[in-house]
Structure 1
Amino acid sequence: MTQAGISAPPVGFTRTEIVNESEQPNTSSPGQRPDEIDFDRARAQVEAEIEAHLAKSGQALQEIPRFTFQKGETQFSFATVALDKSAIFDSLEILKKHVENVRIHTFEPGYIVFQDLGKNLYEAGNRNMPLYGIKFKFVSITNNTRVEVTRKGNLTQDELQACIQLFRLFHPEERQNDPSARLARLGIQVFRAGSEESAGTPSAADAGLEIGRNSVSMFNRKYRLAGYKRTKQEVLESIILPLRHPKVYAGVAQATRGEGSNMPRAVLFDGPPGVGKTTMARIIAGETGLPLVYVSVENILSKYYGESAQNLAGIFDAAAAYDRAILFLDEIDSLATSRESGLFEATRRVLSVLLRKIDGFDTRDGILTIGATNRSTDLDHALLSRFDSVIHFPLPEAKERASIFKSYAHHLSIEELSDLARASKGISGRTIQDICEYTERRWARMLIADQKSPCAPPGYLYVEITQEMAARTPSESM
């Protein structure tokens, strides 16, 4: 706000600058509208309503909204976290309630302007003509995301209310500031643990997570994720236990280094498609009770210049509204290939945001970022260095393939499982699941044709379908 308007920073504000507002509007200027409000009175109203809103919502802002009069023009501006498309449409709905004849003045990526054309467009000397009409600007350029309102002269009560309502829209009350809703508007899925056991509060049953010979059994027992024993052990030690017992890990850090944190901030899952990277992220969310924010490439990339970086930053900022959360970036190699191969400027901007958000000045404590890729060699070296650890998800070995088959077909004998393990060399766990489900469907069709009662498929049918699929599908490690 301004030095003249506030003797102390408003509730929830942190003062960042003081704007010189010695210039005052000429309230007796020719062509003044009869319903204009004196600048000092308008400023006092804006300050009072914004302070009341912030006090009620319990928010603290890093930048004070500015309400100034400079060069014969009233200006109101404030910073916001993100300007997604749905927020722009919500803003337009507010404008239609408070101003007349709104037109699109500018519509460019990162810069959208709406303007009021006024009531009497063709009246001589009309101050509502486009030269004077109030403008509402929505700016999103790199790290500068803000809303700006400008108008020659003073504002009317309707225009003033439009400014206040826009501020409230982008700074909702705490109960309305649901990060899941914000992420949903961005097209992002959020998965939450459904069981009480995985609500994030360790119980006596937590002893089953001990580090030892049977420490990974819960992956098979609770989640039917067979095989990958070494990978499971690494996930358990590097991610699940630290997230479930943060005080223990903080105590160890305090006893050794005295300061700093040993908690994981970013982990890379590397492996071919279908080996359980996404499933493992769900398991981590289930075991820790943290929301899992699933982000695909389609949620980020845009054909408009600068919008991809803006989308990515908006997702990170929305996820940061959680106290603790897991942000899962699928196919991260599509966002951050090596700069040695040459990058377009738009891709550089996305990479810059990614580096800053994962481990930079914008890093948010409590947010674990998991990246998934099947091409880690293509990733930018600076990004690779940001990950605390890289966990490899290889294709399952023969013993693991037999274990995966058994998790989907309990009735098969050891000999039949061994035959399937040999026939499925180079096949991922997800493909094995597909084989088992396809076998069940084919067997059901055969039972219907023979008018027989339902029963489990025979082992030979699993082997036949596995051989069929292996013949038409190259090794998934390629």
Structure 2
Amino acid sequence: MHDDAGLQALREAARLSPDNLPLRQHLAGQLLAKGYLAEAEAEYRAALVLAPKNADITAGLAEAFVRQSAFGAALAALEPLLASPGYPPRLGVLAARALFGEGDTARAGYRYHEAVSRDPSVADADLAARLSAPPAPLYATAPPAAAAPADETSTEVEHSGLTFADVAGMDTVKEALRVKLLLPIQQPELFAAYGKRAGGGVLLYGPPGAGKTHLARAAAGELGASFVNVGLADILDMYIGSSERNLRATFELARRNRPCVLFFDEVDALAARRSDMRQAHTRQVVNQFLAELDGVDQNANEGVLVLAATNAPWYVDVAFRRPGRLDQPVFVPPPDAAARAAILRILCRNKPLAEMDFDAVARVTDQFVGADLKGLVDRAVEVKLQQSISAGRPIPLSTPDLLAAAKSVRPTAVREWMATARNYVMHANDSGAWDELMPWVKGKW
């Protein structure tokens, strides 16, 4: 870089005028274009201090991270902007590149197709080829040989061994699931007297890692029902019509194995607001989902309990909240201190233990969700295993072990999620849909 007189002049100008945002941004862009990635990252960071929410600067920083294979750092930089409705599509493509770099092909494909559907000009031919998708925003129709039969799906039926006893805390959430989904099947005569059918849907929402998937498995185990866990890769397909066929086949699988809990994770990817979509084929997936929830007749989905989970309920099309569909949003909150202690007890059972004070650990793990607590226990166990190998015998896990691990583990996305939720509750809640969150966003979060 020292041989590039133009860059040296820009750097000197930026040194003399450190608060000149356009100058810093231009310097960062030139450094990025010429491949000086570490220097570009430093300049973009300095520019972000001056304009923390600038989408162009964030995109440049994320680009620098991606080109240095720092995919996690790129996603962390992009996440606050991706949580905002109508974010620039080019940020979605950058996120797709980072997700693909981390090996998360399903989410990368979703991010890429969503971004390109809103702005075809951001299409990335190389990334599209790597995702096994066409480089243009218009999709080809599936050749006859590639189309899966309507009654076949790669999704498998499971039988969960979990029950609500394996779910710490969440008493309000568990009670809502019992009344809405479980009791109509467990006491059909009583509910039939009031004209209530066995079936229906619930939308679980809350911060990442709070235990929504774990709760869905426990609901299936509590009922002794079949469990079908549906991921994005099971539904989304590059060919027009194939995603709709996959949805129909998945619902047919659940109907053949009723009573069945049909669980859709990251449902905002399949049930996004149609007003945000530019192309008809993406809207048709939402239409098909709504049609399957309604069923061909009033008894079509009897015994099929649809649980859907999302970290971004505000992106789900409002039609899904119509009665008879996912009409009961249920907030899955971060665990309080008592729930954290109960989670730790469950995570530590069947392990060699000394006398434990889980309440003490719970007090120092404020803002930790279930996934964070599992990471904490795993880290403590790894340290204890090393000690046990050296000693030649199992050494019990103790309270100081968990407290030491808690110092090295940081909570994930609860505070960031609550900040996003606060924006919707305070500024986009005319319908009252998010009143349930009001006590949380007005509290310490």
> What letter matches 1:466 in structure 2?
A
Q: Is the 8 A contact 2:160 2:226 kept in 1?
A: yes
CA distance in 1, matches of 2:228, 2:341: 32
Which secondary structure state, in structure 1, belongs to the residue aligned with residue 144 of structure 2? strand
C-alpha displacement of 1:339: 2.1
In the alignment, does 2:384 pair up with 1:443?
yes
Matched residue of 2:395: which SS? Answer: coil
Q: Is 1:187 aligned to 2:154, yes or no?
A: yes
What is the CA deviation profile of residues 351-373 of structure 1, one whole-angstrom value per residue up to 9, with x for unaligned ones?
00011110254653222211111
Q: Establish whether residue 228 from structure 1 lines up as the match of residue 166 from structure 2.
A: no
Aligned partner of 2:18 in structure 1 is none
For residues 30-179 of structure 1, what are the structure 2 equivalents within 5 Å?
Answer: 109-110=141-142, 112=144
Residue 375 (structure 1) aligned with residue 312 (structure 2): yes
Q: Does 1:419 align with 2:386?
A: no
**Which runs of no fewer than 5 residues in structure 2 stay unpaired?**
1-139, 418-445
Select the residue among 396, 399, 402 that pairs with 1:459.
399
SS of corresponding position for 1:470? coil
Question: Of 326, 336, 340, which aligns to 1:387?
Answer: 326
Report whether the alignment pairs 1:219 with 2:164: yes
CA distance in 1 between counterparts of 2:178 and 2:147 reads 44
- Alignment partner of 1:398 out of 337, 351, 356: 337
Out of 203, 207, 211, which is 1:276 matched to?
Answer: 211
User: C-alpha displacement at 1:282, in angstroms?
Assistant: 1.6
Q: Which residue number in structure 2 is paired with residue 122 of structure 1?
A: none
Other-structure match for 1:469:
409
1:334, CA displacement in angstroms?
Answer: 0.6
Secondary structure class of the residue paired with 1:320: helix
TM normalised by structure 1 equals: 0.52
The answer (yes or no) to whether the contact 1:309–1:346 under 8 Å persists in 2 is no
CA–CA distance in structure 2, aligned partners of residues 343 and 272 of structure 1: 28
* Aligned-partner Cα distance in 1 for 2:409–2:258: 45
Q: Deviations over 1:298-350 (max 9, x none)?
A: 10111122211221122222332234322111111011111232343221110
Q: TM-score, normalised by structure 2?
A: 0.55
Identity, % of aligned pairs?
27
Counterpart of 1:339, as a letter, is: R
8 Å CA contact retained: 1:336, 1:347: no
Equivalent residue letter for 1:112:
P
One-letter code of the match for 1:468? S
Deviations 1:46-81 (A, max 9, x none): xxxxxxxxxxxxxxxxxxxxxxxxxxxxxxxxxxxx
Once the two structures are superposed, the pairs formed by residues 253-268 of structure 1 within 5 Å of their partners are 253=194, 260-268=195-203
Unaligned runs of 5+ in 1: 1-107, 114-137, 147-181, 199-217, 254-259
The AA in structure 2 aligned to 1:463 is L
Q: Compared with structure 1, are the counterparts of its residues 139 and 301 closer, same or farther at alpha carbon in structure 2 (3 Å cutoff)?
A: closer
RMSD: 2.8
Q: Who is 2:302 aligned against? A: 365
Aligned to 1:248: 190
For the Cα contact (< 8 Å) 2:334–2:368, is it kept in 1? yes
1:430 Cα deviation after fit: 2.3
- Are the equivalent residues in 2 in contact too, given 1:426–1:477 (CA < 8 A)? no
CA distance in 2 between counterparts of 1:373 and 1:468 reads: 28
**Aligned residues of 1:187 and 1:299 also touching (Cα < 8 A):** yes
Provide the C-alpha distance between the structure 2 equivalents of 1:477 and 1:407, rounded to a whole number of angstroms.
27
Q: Cα distance, 1:250 vs. partner?
A: 0.8
Aligned counterpart for 1:408 among listed residues 334, 338, 347: 347
Given candidates 322, 336, 347, the residue that maps to 2:257 is 322
Deviations 1:364-393 (A, max 9, x none): 322221111111111000112232322221
CA distance in 2, matches of 1:276, 1:442: 25
- What is the CA distance between 1:229 and its match in structure 2? 1.9
Shift of residue 437, structure 1, vs aligned partner: 2.3
Q: Distance in 2 between matches of 1:476 and 1:448?
A: 38
Residue 407 of structure 1 deviates from its aligned partner by 2.3
Preserved contact between residue 265 and residue 369 of structure 1 (Cα < 8 Å): yes
Structure with the largest fraction of strand? 1
Q: Which secondary structure does the structure 2 equivalent of 1:292 belong to?
A: strand
Specify the alignment match of 1:339 in structure 2: 274
Match of 2:373 in 1: 432
- For residues 284-303 of structure 1, what are the alpha-carbon distances to aligned partners after superposition, in whole Å with 9 as ceiling and x for unaligned? 22222221111111101111
Q: Is contact 2:225–2:258 with CA below 8 Å preserved after alignment?
A: no
In structure 1, what is the Cα distance between the partners aligned to 2:208 and 2:379? 19
Equivalent residues of 2:204, 2:330 under 8 A apart: yes
Q: C-alpha separation between the residues in 2 aligned to 1:295 and 1:421?
A: 33
Q: Aligned residue for 1:302?
A: 237
Distance 2:332 2:366 in 1: 16
In the alignment, is the contact (CA less than 8 A) between 1:328 and 1:371 conserved in 2? yes
Of the three residues 201, 225, 237, the one matched with 2:179 is 237
Q: Deviations over 1:232-275 (max 9, x none)?
A: 22222222222212122112x1xxxxxx4354411111122222
User: Helix, strand or coil for the counterpart of 2:385?
Assistant: helix
Aligned to 2:386, the other structure's residue is in SS state helix
Q: What code does the residue aligned with 2:144 have?
A: I
Q: Is this contact kept in 2: 1:272–1:394, CA < 8 A?
A: yes
Alpha-carbon separation, structure 2, partners of 1:409 and 1:322: 34
Letter in structure 1 aligned against 2:341: A
Superposed CA offset, 1:170-208 (max 9, x none) = xxxxxxxxxxxx65xx221211256xxx9xxxxxxxxxx
Q: Secondary structure in 2 aligned to 1:328? A: strand
Whose helix fraction is larger, Structure 1's or Structure 2's? 2
Alpha-carbon distance, 1:474 to partner? 4.9
Find the aligned partners of 1:139 and 1:275 in 2 and give their Cα distance: 37
Post-superposition Cα deviations, 1:409-447, rounded to whole Å, max 9, x if no partner, equal 364667x42332232111111221221122112111023
